[in-house]
Amino acid sequence: MPPLPGSEARAETPPLHGHEAGVILQRVRESVDPELRSALESLPGSLRRVALYHFGWEHADGTPAAGNAGKAIRPALVLTAATALGGDRARAAAVRAAVAVELVHNFTLLHDDVMDRDTTRRHRPTAWTVFGDSAAILAGDALQALALRLLAEDPHPAAGAAAARLADCVVELCEGQHEDTAMEALDPGEVTLDQVLVMAEAKTGALLGCACALGALYAGASGEEVGAMDAFGREAGLAFQLIDDVIGIWGDPSRTGKPAGADLAARKKSLPVVAALTSGTAAASELAALYAAPYDEGDLVRTALAVEEAGGRDWAQVQASDRMGRAMGQLARAVPDPEAAGGLLSLAEFVTRRSA
């Protein structure tokens, strides 16, 4: 299926920032991967296989694979925040924390895929489809334990506060996923925009905020700076989610790896959809009717148009810009020197523009 109408109007990734972020992410992988891999290798045999498969370091049959463990945005935020506030020394000290955040992220992915019955992750079959639900749940449980063990064993003075903060974040991530699954069972008309925003902040914003806050903690930053870094990550995370939801409807299938309009086909109550449904427009009623019945041919295109006509797309893009503005404000509070803040700025722009 070709891209849905309007998808050709996407802004291209600005090459300069994309390049900078690309360099940062590459360096982060080099710092983080050895420690991450050694944490996974410490797992007992059967769980190790599930974990190495999930991270892309093994094929389903246990033979080595090239690795495709995602973009490492979260560890990059930890290390870049540490550098911005404490230089190279803080960056070096924060590698374990960066690995812990990546382990937590992947524990939630393993569990979310089981709950959501998602069959594809990073262009490969999800772990539960290969090893079964129990193995995927247990591997996720073990990754959470590995994450908190890394911090428990870290002699750095910030490690205790970092562990407490990461554990709090896990609770918030669980709450976000719980709200998400509860909301998917509701009638679209029963969901408010505020509910979806709160859910998105818990499910996506919380861990990006925590990553930045951990970097700040390892740089010995003040409570106020740590708070501002957390808020920066949260706002950038919400901007990312808004853009991701736009891509989920109008993204180019050849670039997203998903069929056009995948989120609409799954009747996802994503941010632009709920904004459209609660707009009080004629298009909102049309959208509600389309979401309530099985799709006929051409209905997916009509549904995307209804979201757009009801203002859902514009709202999401304005909200995303607004959130990025707030993120910049928080970043300036935490790191007043624009040069020191440059890396975090590049990462925030990278995640919010990556393929929108």
Tell me the closest approach of the beta carbon of residue 333 to a copy of itself, in angstroms. Answer: 26
CB nearer to a copy of itself: pick between 163 and 271? 163
Can you give the C-alpha Rg of the chain in angstroms? 20
Tell me: does residue 114 bind a copy of itself (CB under 8 A).
yes
Asked if 54 and 97 count as a contact pair (C-beta separation under 8 A), the reply is no
Q: Which of residues 37-76 bind a copy of itself (CB under 8 A)?
A: 43-44, 46-47
CB nearer to a copy of itself: pick between 234 and 353? 234
Closest C-alpha among 238, 239, 232, 234 to residue 332: 232
CB nearer to a copy of itself: pick between 39 and 249? 39
Tell me the closest approach of the beta carbon of residue 329 to a copy of itself, in angstroms. Answer: 27
Tell me: does residue 197 bind a copy of itself (CB under 8 A).
no
Q: Which of residues 149-178 bind a copy of itself (CB under 8 A)?
A: 149, 151-153, 159-161, 163-164, 167-168, 170-172, 174-175, 177-178
CB nearer to a copy of itself: pick between 133 and 309? 133
Tell me: does residue 257 bind a copy of itself (CB under 8 A).
no
Q: Which two tokens stand for residue 345?
A: 């700025």
CB nearer to a copy of itself: pick between 198 and 265? 198
Tell me: does residue 118 bind a copy of itself (CB under 8 A).
no
Closest C-alpha among 56, 12, 65 to residue 36: 56
CB atoms within 10 A of CB 52: 22
The pattern of x and - marking residues 126 through 145 that bind a copy of itself according to CB under 8 A reads: ------xxxx-xxxxxx-xx
Q: Which of residues 213-232 bind a copy of itself (CB under 8 A)?
A: none
Tokens 């991530």 correspond to: 173
Question: Which residue ranges make up the site for a copy of itself (CB under 8 A)?
Answer: 43-44, 46-47, 107, 111, 114-115, 132-135, 137-142, 144-146, 148-149, 151-153, 159-161, 163-164, 167-168, 170-172, 174-175, 177-179, 181-182
